């Protein structure tokens, strides 16, 4: 299937089987995750924190993204490979299209960008260029410095109105799905019930949205220094690495 067909198939899942999405940043993880049958593999700019050691996603560049997208794409995933357009790479429609093309050249099949009404013209331009786009509303990590931290969204009627308006602007511009991040459960539920494209939740309650996306290091427990409160680890890879490394040191020093 082409990327456009995969994105359309996910769009058509609205009201059907829930979408399972995970982030991936490298070749072996992408290969292993794809074996699970996940629907969507997000090369998220979260890689800035969990793979590159930056304090937040505002340090991630297009070159970082291209490097990691290419590694994930070499695994030839069946899942749709979705790549984040990092901060400052979509200031206007022409730049957004040029940079989305660079991500596609590196191996992405679709792109994601953050924000609502103010991004609609960029979403329209990218989709018209033949590249599927996923929206991202709620808590926007690329705005963490302006907002002074990570705050839950959709708490007030005004915030819910802004989310609704943003979502409809993105849908009219052509997104195939919308990630909702850290939106209070009631608001995320209302958006999911009323919007015609799938919502993919993170930090919105486990079964509120049409699908879920998790940061892979939260799922496998390989980034123990920060674990969001909503994470549900299924493994403790940090423990396995520490144990294996300690056993190796012992083996080498006392053969
Ligand atoms: O960068 C990322 O991993 C994301 C998810 C949190 C949705 O955008």
- Tell me whether residue 5 is one of the annotated catalytic residues: no
Question: With contact defined as beta carbons under 8 Å apart, do 98 and 121 qualify?
Answer: no
Query: Is 54 within a domain?
Result: yes
Half-sphere exposure (Cβ direction) of 127: Cα atoms closer than 13 Å: 22
Query: Is 207 within a domain?
Result: yes
Query: Is 117 within a domain?
Result: yes
pTM over 0.85: yes
The residue from 109, 114, 181, 212 that is catalytic is: 181
Q: For 57-106, what is each residue's pLDDT tens digit? A: 999 999 999 999 999 999 999 999 999 999 999 999 999 999 999 999 99
How many angstroms is it from 82 CA to the middle of ligand 1?
Answer: 10
The rounded distance, in Å, linking the Cα atoms of 148 and 145 is 5
Domain enclosing residue 136, as ranges: 3-214
Q: What is the pLDDT of residue 71?
A: 98
Q: For 139-165, what is each residue's pLDDT tens digit? A: 999 998 988 888 899 999 999 999 999
Query: Is 242 within a domain?
Result: no
Query: Is 154 within a domain?
Result: yes
How many angstroms is it from 247 CA to the middle of ligand 1?
Answer: 34
Query: Is 250 within a domain?
Result: no
Where residue 9 sits, what CATH number does that domain have? 3.20.20.60
Q: Is 44 in the pocket of ligand 1 (CB under 6 A)?
A: yes
Query: Is 222 within a domain?
Result: no
Atom of ligand 1 nearest to the CA of 45: 1
Q: Is 216 in the pocket of ligand 1 (CB under 6 A)?
A: no
Q: Is 137 in the pocket of ligand 1 (CB under 6 A)?
A: no
The total number of structural domains in the chain stands at 1
Q: What does the buried/exposed string (b/e) look like for 56-67 if buried means 16 or more CB atoms within 10 Å of the residue's CB?
A: bbbebebebbbe
Query: Is 227 within a domain?
Result: no
Q: What is the pLDDT of residue 150?
A: 86
Question: With contact defined as beta carbons under 8 Å apart, do 144 and 169 qualify?
Answer: no
């Amino acid at each position: 299937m082409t990327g456009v067909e995969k994105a359309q198939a996910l769009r058509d899942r609205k009201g059907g089987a829930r979408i399972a999405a995970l982030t991936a940043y490298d070749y072996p993880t992408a290969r292993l995750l794809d074996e699970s049958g996940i629907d969507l593999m997000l090369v998220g700019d979260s890689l800035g924190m969990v793979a590159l050691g930056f304090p937040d996603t505002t340090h991630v560049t297009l070159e970082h993204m291209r490097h990691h997208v290419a590694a994930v794409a070499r695994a030839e995933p069946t899942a749709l490979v979705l790549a984040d357009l990092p901060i400052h790479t979509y200031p206007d429609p022409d730049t957004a299209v040029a940079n989305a093309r660079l991500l596609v050249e590196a191996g992405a099949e679709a792109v994601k960008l953050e924000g609502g009404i103010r991004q609609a013209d960029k979403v329209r331009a990218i989709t018209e260029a033949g590249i599927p786009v996923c929206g991202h509303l709620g808590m926007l990590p690329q705005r963490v410095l302006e907002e002074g931290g990570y705050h839950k969204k959709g708490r007030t009627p005004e915030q819910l109105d802004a989310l609704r308006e943003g979502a409809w602007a993105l849908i009219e511009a052509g997104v195939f799905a919308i990630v909702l991040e850290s939106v209070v459960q009631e608001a995320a539920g209302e958006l999911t019930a009323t919007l015609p494209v799938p919502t993919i939740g993170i930090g919105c309650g486990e079964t509120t949205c049409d699908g879920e996306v998790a940061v892979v290091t939260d799922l496998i427990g390989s980034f123990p220094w920060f674990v969001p409160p909503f994470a549900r680890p299924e493994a403790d890879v940090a423990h396995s690495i520490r144990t294996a490394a300690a056993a190796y040191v012992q083996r080498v020093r006392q053969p």
